[in-house]
Amino acid sequence: MLDTKLKNNRRITIILIIMAIVLPAFFVMNQYWDCYVVAENYVENASHASVTSEEFLSTFLDAGYVLYNTENGEDRNPEEVRTILQENSSKMASYERIYPFLDYRVKDEDGKDVAKSTADSESAVTENNLSSFAVGIVIAYDKYGEPDVQIKSGEFKSEQSVTFRELINEYDDSDWDVERYNEDYEEWETIHLEKPKNRTYIYAMTEENLESYLDNYSHVYADYAMDSMRNIALVTMLIVVILAWALPFLRFWNLKDMVIFHMPFEIVAVVFLVMMDILGNKMWWIADRSRGIPDFVDFLIWTFVFAVTFWAATCVRQVYTMGARTYMKERMLCVRYWRYIQRAWKYVTGWVREWFGRCYHFLDRIDLSEKNTQTILRIVAVNFIILAVICTMWLGGIMVLVIYSVGLFLLLRKYFNDLQEKYAVLLKATGEIAKGNLEVEITEDLGIFSPFKQEIQKIQKGFKKAVDEEVKSQRMKTELITNVSHDLKTPLTAIITYVNLLKDEKDEKKQKDYIEVLERKSLRLKVLIEDLFEVSKASSKNVTLNIVDVDVVNLFKQVKLELEDKIAGADLDFRCIYPEEKVVVALDSQKTYRVFENLLVNIIKYAMPHTRVYIEIAKEDGEAVVRMKNVSAAELDFSAEEITERFVRGDTSRNTEGSGLGLAIVKSFVELQKGKFKIETEADLFKVEVRF
């Protein structure tokens, strides 16, 4: 018994739903004829107002000016006049709008045809057949250009005649004055078009052409019908919504277990909004296609519209039955899956921020030292694509373009603000360097100015090196003066002393001893001055080289042989390794001889007695290499670089004889011959390497 009652209730509920959908559909279709009749009356009135309006009738007066001034004449080019009119006269636009629908014939004062239209009409227009046209107008101009208008046919001849009289009285010929740029004189000139004279213009429009010309007014029907039907449809849809909310209060109402009415809110909203959008865009089609007589297609359309409306309202009604909180939890997807939406939102926004970050810092990675044509083309292409997409959005694209322009402005403003900050950091750093602060550091990321950051660091290193070199140079100058003074003063003092002793000494033997001392000291002074002179010339590059092919091994053996007595006196054991083949290099033999001599003399002076000295001459990678190693008698507490400076000795106490210029001369002579000279120290081991 209970099941039967539930089934009856379900059946009654479904019947009520069908009635709530079908009856509104019939009601809307029943309004078609009334909307159509009202719209037709409106169109008829609008068409009447159009054909009797000054705008419409003045076009025929304008046509006379256009046709007269574009005739083939001796003083004017028709195409040139037409071009001038199209570019400068607003009246030309109204003439071109009516021209495709206009039949005309132009006669001169003798009644001969001057021109005629090519419009597709059943018969050529003449004064005698104007009555067969929907519009027939004859305008005759006398020799002074004064017009006379006759309305030959038309539904509203009397009203048109009155309007023409007013137009003729108010017609201003100066409206046809057009401005044109004269390229010959490079200035603007005013062209005055002539009044039509001694011409009769016969104008006619067929019923079909007139309707085509007034086609924009026929759209008034569709627009008006669309507005009327839209209002009726919206009111009826509101009634259906009210029914969907009110009917469930009936006792027998039973919609349980019908899944279709338990749809999520988002799906309901999307379906309803899409339906409303389609309905709004196609309302003109619905209003125009039926011509006031509905058919089965109209029934299907409105049944669907009200079915969707009833369904959407019933689904949303559950806000009332379930409560807003429960409805949001169970019927709203955005609430049910809020956790996942948040994750997706974070992922998307993170990706978007990263993408915008890459785009924002794209310019920072531009290398200004290279051509960036491809980069510029890429930026222009991307901007072109964005603007092209925006242009396809029609009216909506204007808003998108505004948003895009504002976003681009904010992005560029932020970018240039960042550029200003980076520029300020760069300017501050260079200012500090200019003040002499070479320890300033740039820790900020300078973006596009990063290459300048690297160059500033190079400048700092260069300045520091230059300052260190200058300090070193000043120190060496001081030491040079001290050493030169000491080394020159010692033999000079001895010479002066022995000269004074020689003056008073009567003993010939002592005189002979004094002379020997004087000779030795003089030679010592001579050697010192010659060495100083040679190293000065070498440093100034003021040395002439006599380049010949030199056998390096043979030359070294010769130098060693001449110093054999001194080597024996120093009690040193030389261990020499020579290559089997000759080592021939293009060198200055005298300068190279001096290099080997100074190196061997340096070893003899400073090597520890009773030790071995290792000499190696070899040919490596096309270079002649001479290596010397010895154990120093004194502690090697000096810099390997400083030992090659002028007047620097390994013997800092300066007890040994020598000018202190030996290794400086070696370095200068080797470098003059495009060679390399290197000194290394390891504990007490002294190493020398010469490469030619």
CA distances from 610 to 613, 614, 616 (A): 10, 13, 20
CA distances from 33 to 46, 224, 290 (A): 20, 13, 9
* The model's pTM: 0.43
Pair 17, 310: CB distance under 8 Å: yes
Pair 283, 298: CB distance under 8 Å: no
Per-residue pLDDT at 222? 52
Q: Decide which of 3.30.565.10, 3.40.50.300, 3.90.340.10, 3.60.20.10 is the CATH code for 543-691.
A: 3.30.565.10
Tokens 């360097």 correspond to: 433
d(CA 123, CA 508): 159
Taking residue 332's Cβ as centre, other Cβ atoms within 10 Å add up to 14
Residue 159, token pair as written in the block: 């009203």
Per-residue pLDDT at 625? 92
Strands (E), 642-684: 676-682
Strands (E), 183-239: 187-191, 199-205
d(CA 33, CA 544): 120
CA distances from 229 to 44, 242, 276, 470 (A): 20, 20, 14, 97
Q: Report CA Rg, the chain.
A: 56
Fold topology of 449-542: Helix Hairpins (1.10.287)
3-class DSSP assignment, residue 104: strand
3-class DSSP assignment, residue 575: strand
d(CA 565, CA 559): 12
d(CA 434, CA 427): 10
Taking residue 667's Cβ as centre, other Cβ atoms within 10 Å add up to 25
Nearest to 26 by CA among 313, 311, 296: 296
Pair 574, 557: CB distance under 8 Å: no
Tokens 């003056």 correspond to: 503
d(CA 634, CA 656): 12
Taking residue 331's Cβ as centre, other Cβ atoms within 10 Å add up to 21
Strands (E), 621-673: 623-631
Per-residue pLDDT at 75? 57
Residue 539, token pair as written in the block: 């440093």
Domain ranges of the chain: 2-30+218-322, 52-213, 367-444, 449-542, 543-691
Backbone angles phi and psi of 104, in degrees to 5: -150, 160
Per-residue pLDDT at 650? 46
Side-chain-side CA neighbours of residue 407 (13 Å): 10
Q: DSSP letter string over 261-295?
A: GG--HHHHHHHHHHHHHHHHHHHHHHHHHSTT---
Taking the mean position of all CA atoms in its chain, how far away is CA 518?
Answer: 85
Helix (H) or strand (E) holding 178: strand 178-182
Residue 308, token pair as written in the block: 């969707």
d(CA 162, CA 168): 10
Mean pLDDT by 10 residues, the chain (692 residues): 69 87 89 74 73 81 80 62 65 76 87 75 72 86 86 83 81 67 68 80 86 64 64 90 88 77 88 87 72 83 92 89 85 84 85 72 61 70 78 71 79 77 78 73 69 74 76 64 63 77 76 76 71 63 78 87 85 88 87 85 88 90 90 75 52 49 79 87 87 91
Nearest to 263 by CA among 327, 323, 325, 324: 327
Per-residue pLDDT at 652? 47
Taking the mean position of all CA atoms in its chain, how far away is CA 137?
Answer: 63
Per-residue pLDDT at 499? 80
Taking residue 50's Cβ as centre, other Cβ atoms within 10 Å add up to 15
Nearest to 68 by CA among 171, 135, 161, 139: 139
3-class DSSP assignment, residue 497: helix
Nearest to 627 by CA among 669, 581, 578, 562: 578
Per-residue pLDDT at 648? 46
Q: How far apart are the first and last CA of the chain?
A: 123
The angle, 0 to 180 degrees and rounded to 10, between the axes of the packed helices 32-51 and 54-69 is 50
d(CA 170, CA 390): 47
Nearest to 692 by CA among 613, 591, 598, 607: 591
Pair 127, 138: CB distance under 8 Å: yes
For β-strands 573-577 and 612-620, DSSP reports them as parallel
